[in-house]
Amino acid sequence: MMPLSLPALGNLLNALLHPPRGTPAGRAEREGKLAAVMAILDRDLPPAAPVAGGGASLELSPRMRELLSTAALEAVSLGDWATYRRLEAVLKSRTRQPLPYNVLLKALRAAAQGGERDLAMDVFAELQVGRHRRVDASREAPADELSALSSLLGLLAERGDAEAAERVYERMRSVAWRGLQRAGADVGDGAAGAAGAGKAAGALAAAAASRPGKGVCVCDA
Protein backbone atom coordinates (compact mmCIF):
# COMPACT_ATOMS: atom_id res chain seq x y z
CA MET A 1 0.00 0.00 0.00
CA MET A 2 1.33 3.41 -0.95
CA PRO A 3 1.86 5.86 1.93
CA LEU A 4 -0.72 8.61 2.27
CA SER A 5 0.14 12.09 1.11
CA LEU A 6 0.64 14.58 3.93
CA PRO A 7 -2.70 16.36 3.24
CA ALA A 8 -4.54 13.02 3.23
CA LEU A 9 -2.69 11.97 6.37
CA GLY A 10 -3.80 15.17 8.06
CA ASN A 11 -7.42 14.61 7.07
CA LEU A 12 -7.40 11.08 8.45
CA LEU A 13 -5.77 12.11 11.73
CA ASN A 14 -8.23 14.96 12.09
CA ALA A 15 -11.18 12.58 11.67
CA LEU A 16 -9.79 10.29 14.38
CA LEU A 17 -8.88 13.04 16.82
CA HIS A 18 -11.90 15.31 16.29
CA PRO A 19 -15.06 13.18 16.06
CA PRO A 20 -18.35 14.94 15.23
CA ARG A 21 -19.93 16.85 18.08
CA GLY A 22 -22.56 15.02 20.04
CA THR A 23 -20.79 11.66 19.73
CA PRO A 24 -18.98 11.17 23.05
CA ALA A 25 -16.58 8.25 23.06
CA GLY A 26 -15.87 5.87 25.92
CA ARG A 27 -12.37 5.12 27.13
CA ALA A 28 -12.00 1.95 25.09
CA GLU A 29 -12.99 3.77 21.90
CA ARG A 30 -10.62 6.65 22.66
CA GLU A 31 -7.77 4.22 23.28
CA GLY A 32 -8.56 2.47 20.02
CA LYS A 33 -8.53 5.71 18.06
CA LEU A 34 -5.25 6.79 19.62
CA ALA A 35 -3.72 3.42 18.75
CA ALA A 36 -4.97 3.89 15.19
CA VAL A 37 -3.38 7.35 15.08
CA MET A 38 -0.03 5.90 16.11
CA ALA A 39 -0.26 3.05 13.59
CA ILE A 40 -1.04 5.52 10.80
CA LEU A 41 1.85 7.77 11.81
CA ASP A 42 4.23 4.81 11.88
CA ARG A 43 3.12 3.79 8.40
CA ASP A 44 2.57 7.08 6.60
CA LEU A 45 4.54 9.91 8.23
CA PRO A 46 7.76 10.33 6.24
CA PRO A 47 10.90 9.73 8.29
CA ALA A 48 12.89 12.71 9.46
CA ALA A 49 15.76 13.40 7.09
CA PRO A 50 19.32 14.02 8.34
CA VAL A 51 20.45 17.64 8.28
CA ALA A 52 23.84 19.28 8.33
CA GLY A 53 25.40 19.32 11.76
CA GLY A 54 23.71 16.15 12.93
CA GLY A 55 20.17 15.38 13.94
CA ALA A 56 17.18 15.14 11.67
CA SER A 57 14.46 17.36 10.38
CA LEU A 58 11.20 17.23 8.46
CA GLU A 59 9.27 20.45 8.19
CA LEU A 60 5.79 19.91 9.58
CA SER A 61 2.89 22.12 8.63
CA PRO A 62 1.20 24.05 11.44
CA ARG A 63 -1.81 21.79 10.98
CA MET A 64 0.25 18.62 11.41
CA ARG A 65 1.94 20.02 14.50
CA GLU A 66 -1.47 20.84 15.95
CA LEU A 67 -2.76 17.33 15.24
CA LEU A 68 0.26 15.69 16.85
CA SER A 69 -0.11 17.98 19.86
CA THR A 70 -3.80 17.03 20.10
CA ALA A 71 -2.81 13.37 20.05
CA ALA A 72 -0.30 14.04 22.85
CA LEU A 73 -3.05 15.70 24.91
CA GLU A 74 -5.27 12.66 24.39
CA ALA A 75 -2.43 10.40 25.52
CA VAL A 76 -2.06 12.51 28.67
CA SER A 77 -5.80 12.34 29.32
CA LEU A 78 -5.70 8.56 29.02
CA GLY A 79 -2.54 8.23 31.11
CA ASP A 80 -0.83 6.54 28.17
CA TRP A 81 2.68 7.75 28.85
CA ALA A 82 4.34 5.39 26.37
CA THR A 83 2.34 6.96 23.54
CA TYR A 84 2.99 10.44 24.92
CA ARG A 85 6.73 9.75 24.78
CA ARG A 86 6.46 8.49 21.21
CA LEU A 87 4.60 11.60 20.07
CA GLU A 88 7.09 13.79 21.89
CA ALA A 89 9.90 12.05 20.02
CA VAL A 90 8.14 12.48 16.66
CA LEU A 91 7.74 16.22 17.16
CA LYS A 92 11.22 16.74 18.57
CA SER A 93 12.87 14.88 15.72
CA ARG A 94 11.19 17.19 13.24
CA THR A 95 11.02 20.53 15.05
CA ARG A 96 13.84 20.35 17.63
CA GLN A 97 11.44 21.98 20.05
CA PRO A 98 9.50 20.80 23.11
CA LEU A 99 5.83 20.03 22.94
CA PRO A 100 3.58 23.11 23.07
CA TYR A 101 3.29 24.92 26.39
CA ASN A 102 -0.33 23.92 27.02
CA VAL A 103 0.48 20.24 26.43
CA LEU A 104 3.42 20.39 28.84
CA LEU A 105 1.27 21.92 31.58
CA LYS A 106 -1.36 19.18 31.32
CA ALA A 107 1.32 16.49 31.20
CA LEU A 108 3.10 17.95 34.23
CA ARG A 109 -0.06 18.04 36.31
CA ALA A 110 -1.17 14.54 35.30
CA ALA A 111 2.27 13.01 35.85
CA ALA A 112 2.68 14.66 39.25
CA GLN A 113 -0.80 13.71 40.41
CA GLY A 114 -0.18 10.16 39.22
CA GLY A 115 3.05 9.87 41.19
CA GLU A 116 5.21 9.68 38.05
CA ARG A 117 8.14 11.58 39.54
CA ASP A 118 10.74 11.00 36.81
CA LEU A 119 8.31 11.77 34.01
CA ALA A 120 7.09 14.90 35.77
CA MET A 121 10.65 16.14 36.20
CA ASP A 122 11.33 15.50 32.51
CA VAL A 123 8.30 17.62 31.62
CA PHE A 124 9.47 20.27 34.07
CA ALA A 125 12.84 20.34 32.30
CA GLU A 126 11.04 20.91 28.99
CA LEU A 127 9.17 23.84 30.53
CA GLN A 128 12.48 25.32 31.56
CA VAL A 129 13.77 24.96 28.00
CA GLY A 130 10.65 26.74 26.77
CA ARG A 131 11.29 29.59 29.16
CA HIS A 132 14.89 30.01 28.05
CA ARG A 133 13.69 30.17 24.45
CA ARG A 134 11.42 33.08 25.44
CA VAL A 135 8.04 31.50 24.86
CA ASP A 136 5.56 34.08 23.55
CA ALA A 137 4.10 35.72 26.65
CA SER A 138 0.62 35.64 25.15
CA ARG A 139 0.70 31.83 25.33
CA GLU A 140 1.66 31.68 28.98
CA ALA A 141 -0.94 30.85 31.62
CA PRO A 142 0.62 31.68 35.00
CA ALA A 143 -2.32 30.44 37.08
CA ASP A 144 -2.43 27.09 35.26
CA GLU A 145 1.33 26.70 35.45
CA LEU A 146 1.38 27.49 39.17
CA SER A 147 -1.29 24.85 39.72
CA ALA A 148 0.68 22.23 37.79
CA LEU A 149 3.92 23.16 39.54
CA SER A 150 2.16 22.95 42.91
CA SER A 151 1.18 19.37 42.11
CA LEU A 152 4.80 18.55 41.32
CA LEU A 153 6.06 20.31 44.44
CA GLY A 154 3.63 18.31 46.56
CA LEU A 155 4.90 15.06 45.06
CA LEU A 156 8.53 16.04 45.66
CA ALA A 157 7.74 17.04 49.23
CA GLU A 158 6.17 13.63 49.84
CA ARG A 159 9.33 11.99 48.47
CA GLY A 160 11.61 14.27 50.51
CA ASP A 161 13.38 15.40 47.34
CA ALA A 162 14.55 18.79 48.59
CA GLU A 163 16.93 19.59 45.73
CA ALA A 164 14.34 19.07 42.99
CA ALA A 165 11.68 20.81 45.09
CA GLU A 166 13.86 23.89 45.36
CA ARG A 167 14.21 24.06 41.57
CA VAL A 168 10.46 23.80 41.15
CA TYR A 169 9.91 26.46 43.80
CA GLU A 170 12.28 28.85 42.03
CA ARG A 171 10.28 28.36 38.85
CA MET A 172 7.10 29.07 40.79
CA ARG A 173 8.53 32.33 42.08
CA SER A 174 9.32 33.42 38.54
CA VAL A 175 5.89 32.40 37.22
CA ALA A 176 4.09 34.09 40.12
CA TRP A 177 6.02 37.28 39.54
CA ARG A 178 5.10 37.31 35.86
CA GLY A 179 1.48 36.66 36.82
CA LEU A 180 1.49 39.62 39.18
CA GLN A 181 2.99 41.84 36.52
CA ARG A 182 0.39 40.74 33.98
CA ALA A 183 -2.48 41.31 36.41
CA GLY A 184 -1.27 44.84 37.04
CA ALA A 185 -0.76 45.57 33.35
CA ASP A 186 -4.13 44.18 32.31
CA VAL A 187 -6.50 45.72 34.80
CA GLY A 188 -4.50 48.04 37.03
CA ASP A 189 -5.89 48.10 40.54
CA GLY A 190 -9.30 46.68 39.63
CA ALA A 191 -11.02 43.80 41.36
CA ALA A 192 -9.94 41.27 38.73
CA GLY A 193 -6.32 42.33 39.10
CA ALA A 194 -6.54 42.04 42.87
CA ALA A 195 -8.08 38.57 42.57
CA GLY A 196 -5.35 37.42 40.20
CA ALA A 197 -2.65 38.80 42.44
CA GLY A 198 -4.23 37.14 45.44
CA LYS A 199 -4.27 33.74 43.74
CA ALA A 200 -0.62 34.03 42.73
CA ALA A 201 0.45 35.13 46.19
CA GLY A 202 -1.59 32.39 47.84
CA ALA A 203 -0.15 29.68 45.62
CA LEU A 204 3.37 30.87 46.29
CA ALA A 205 2.85 31.04 50.06
CA ALA A 206 1.47 27.50 50.08
CA ALA A 207 4.39 26.33 47.98
CA ALA A 208 6.91 27.95 50.30
CA ALA A 209 5.35 26.23 53.29
CA SER A 210 5.37 22.82 51.60
CA ARG A 211 9.03 22.75 50.57
CA PRO A 212 10.97 19.98 52.37
CA GLY A 213 12.71 21.54 55.36
CA LYS A 214 11.62 25.07 54.47
CA GLY A 215 9.20 27.57 55.92
CA VAL A 216 7.26 30.45 54.50
CA CYS A 217 9.45 33.19 53.13
CA VAL A 218 8.97 36.60 51.65
CA CYS A 219 9.90 36.33 47.98
CA ASP A 220 10.93 39.17 45.72
CA ALA A 221 11.34 37.58 42.31
Domain extents for the chain?
Answer: 1-18+30-48+57-97, 101-214
Query: Residue by residue, what is the 3-state secondary structure of the chain?
Result: CCCCCHHHHHHHHHHHHCCCCCCCCCHHHHHHHHHHHHHHHHHHCCCCEECCCCCEECCCCHHHHHHHHHHHHHHHHHCCHHHHHHHHHHHHHHHCCCCCHHHHHHHHHHHHHCCCHHHHHHHHHHHHHHHHCCCCHHHCCHHHHHHHHHHHHHHHHHHCCHHHHHHHHHHHHHHHHHHHHHHHHHHCCCHHHHHHHHHHHHHHHHHHHHCCCCCCCCCCC
Distance, in Å, from the CA atom of 4 to the CA atom of 40, rounded to the nearest integer, reads: 9
**Confidence (pLDDT) at 40:** 95
Residue that wins the pLDDT comparison between 159 and 208: 159
Residue 183: pLDDT band by 50, 70, 90 thresholds? low
pLDDT of residue 208: 63
Summarize the confidence of residues 161-178 as an average pLDDT: 91
CA-closest candidate to residue 178, choices 213, 146, 208, 210:
146
103 versus 142: which is more confidently predicted? 103
Residue 56: strand pairing partners: 50
CA 157 to chain CA centroid, nearest Å: 21
Q: Which residues contact 75 (CB under 8 A, 6 or more apart)?
A: 34, 81, 83, 84, 87
Question: For 104-160, what is each residue's pLDDT tens digit?
Answer: 999 999 999 999 999 999 999 999 886 545 455 556 788 899 999 999 999 999 999
Count of alpha carbons within 13 angstroms of residue 179, beta-carbon side? 25
CA-based torsion, 147, 149, 151, 153: positive or negative: negative
Query: Predicted confidence band at 216 (pLDDT cuts at 50, 70, 90)?
Result: very low
Average pLDDT, the chain: 82
Q: What's the whole-model pTM score?
A: 0.81
pLDDT for 210 beyond 70: no
- Mean pLDDT lowest for which of 70-84, 166-180, 197-211? 197-211
Compare 169 and 199 and report the one with higher pLDDT.
Answer: 169
Is the pLDDT confidence value at 53 over 90?
no
pLDDT band at 221 (very low <50, low <70, confident <90, very high): very low
Return the sign of the alpha-carbon dihedral for residues 124, 129, 131, 137: negative
The distance in angstroms from the start CA to the end CA of the chain is 58
210 or 164, which is more confident: 164
Residues 191-201 have a mean pLDDT of 57
